[in-house]
Amino acid sequence: MEDLKTLKTRFLEYVEIERGRSTKTVENYDRYISRFFAHAHTTKPNHITESAVREFRLYLNRQSALAHAKKTPSGGQNLKLKTINYYLIAVRAFLKYLRKNNIQSLDPERIELAKVGARDLDLITSDELNRLMKAPSGTSLGDLRDRAILELLFSTGLRVSELCSLNSDLDLTRDEFSVRGKGEKVRVVFLSSGAKRAISEYLKKRADMGEALFANTRRAKKSERLTPRSVERIVKRRAIQAGITRRVTPHIIRHSFATDLLENGADLRSVQALLGHANIATTQVYTHVTDKHLQEVHRAFHGKRRH
């Protein structure tokens, strides 16, 4: 029987090649599973027991409690449980791989995930969104680039990594383009007239022939592709400029894109496709913020026969 280290290597190759998971996902699986192996003190798949998983879970819970002991962030308990679940999901996926290959080990269905509360969405108001979009109001290359970034994020709902991967040969004669997202899945996103105009003005101002659509504007690093971290800093700086006191990130603009569609009548399946969610359960996190009309229905139709 092969040892766990060899089987883990084969599993990670399977996840990357056959399941099409991102390099980051593979790295996380490697870290989570390796930590479990180290804690369980075992090298054989048939030595993985329910007791070993339970003890590992208890260990993670205690580590997480120590890490949060001096912090009181909102939703801290949910964050702790979610972190533990990431480890359990990785271990369970590995066990499913073993079962698929007829290798005796613990039944993956014996691992239950911790129940977490509904995820809270960080959102900005329509007024704050409008102020954010208008923050880069100048005509410098940096202002034009930042305006194009903001307009494109809100027009398409792109993930920040997807935005950073775009090239400057984007066809602006069309209202749509394809993007390769998580798991190498390709989806179509759509350009608003405002986004097309902002990108066009930015590209006209650029003097370099760099491949990246969004590049550094500093002289020493001109043409260097922006990283997700760089875009996060840009959004944060523009939010402060717009007088927004709460935290604003590219992902929060993605939230605004989704809730804007749902509030204006889009169906959940369409929003799922536009966001590139593999599972509609991921998209359903947005539905609770679109139920404002229920109060209006209640007011309009309830209790009309009472005097």
DSSP 151-179: HHHHHH---HHHHHT-BTT--TTSSEEEE
Catalytic residue among 8, 80, 92, 277: 277
44 labelled catalytic: no
Catalytic residue among 8, 159, 238, 255: 159
In a domain? residue 30:
yes
Buried b (16+ CB within 10 A) or exposed e, 188-197: ebebeebbbe
Final residue in a domain of this structure, among 110, 142, 168: 110
3 state SS of 190: strand
CB 248 within 8 A of CB 124: yes
Same domain, 102 and 208: no
Domain span including residue 212? 126-293
Q: Which residues pair with 186 in a beta bridge?
A: 180
CATH code of residue 46? 1.10.150
Same domain, 56 and 130: no
Same domain, 102 and 144: no
Same domain, 273 and 138: yes
First and final C-alpha spacing in the chain:
79
Residue among 123, 117, 150, 121 nearest 136 (CA): 150
Final residue in a domain of this structure, among 59, 77, 110: 110
Cα separation, 57 vs 40, in Å, equals 11
Cα separation, 108 vs 91, in Å, equals 8
CB 106 within 8 A of CB 44: no
Tell me the CA distances in angstroms from 80 to 37, 85, 87, 284, one per residue in order: 21, 9, 11, 22
pLDDT given for residue 36 in this prediction: 95
CB 199 within 8 A of CB 152: yes
pLDDT given for residue 104 in this prediction: 94
In a domain? residue 306:
no
Final residue in a domain of this structure, among 57, 81, 110: 110
In a domain? residue 300:
no
pLDDT given for residue 14 in this prediction: 93
In a domain? residue 68:
yes
159 labelled catalytic: yes
pLDDT given for residue 300 in this prediction: 78
Cα separation, 16 vs 156, in Å, equals 27
Same domain, 23 and 133: no
Same domain, 176 and 287: yes
Q: Which residues pair with 247 in a beta bridge?
A: none
In a domain? residue 190:
yes
What is the residue whose two structure tokens read 């990130």?
249
φ/ψ of 122, rounded to 5, equals -85, 120
pLDDT tens-digit profile, the chain (307 residues): 689 999 999 999 999 888 878 788 899 999 999 999 999 998 999 999 999 999 999 998 887 666 555 554 444 445 578 888 999 999 999 999 999 999 999 999 999 887 766 566 778 999 999 999 999 999 999 999 999 999 999 999 999 999 999 999 999 999 999 999 887 789 999 999 999 999 999 999 988 878 999 999 876 566 789 999 999 999 999 999 999 999 999 999 999 999 999 888 888 999 999 999 988 888 888 876 666 666 677 777 777 666 5
182 labelled catalytic: yes
Residue among 121, 163, 118, 126 nearest 260 (CA): 126
CATH code of residue 153? 1.10.443.10
In a domain? residue 303:
no
Same domain, 278 and 145: yes
In a domain? residue 289:
yes
Same domain, 147 and 267: yes
251 labelled catalytic: yes
Give residue 192's Cα distance to chain centre.
22
DSSP 8-class letter at 215:
B
Q: Into how many domains does the chain fold?
A: 2
pLDDT given for residue 207 in this prediction: 82
Catalytic residue among 39, 82, 182, 222: 182
- Residue 64 is inside which H or E element, if any? helix 50-68
Cα separation, 222 vs 208, in Å, equals 8
pTM: 0.70
- Residue 186 is inside which H or E element, if any? strand 186-190
pLDDT given for residue 295 in this prediction: 67
Catalytic residue among 8, 57, 238, 254: 254
Same domain, 77 and 143: no
Same domain, 256 and 145: yes
Same domain, 39 and 132: no
In a domain? residue 305:
no
Same domain, 217 and 92: no
**Strand-pair category, 176-180 with 186-190:** antiparallel
Cα separation, 223 vs 182, in Å, equals 26
Neighbours of 75 (CB within 10 A): 12
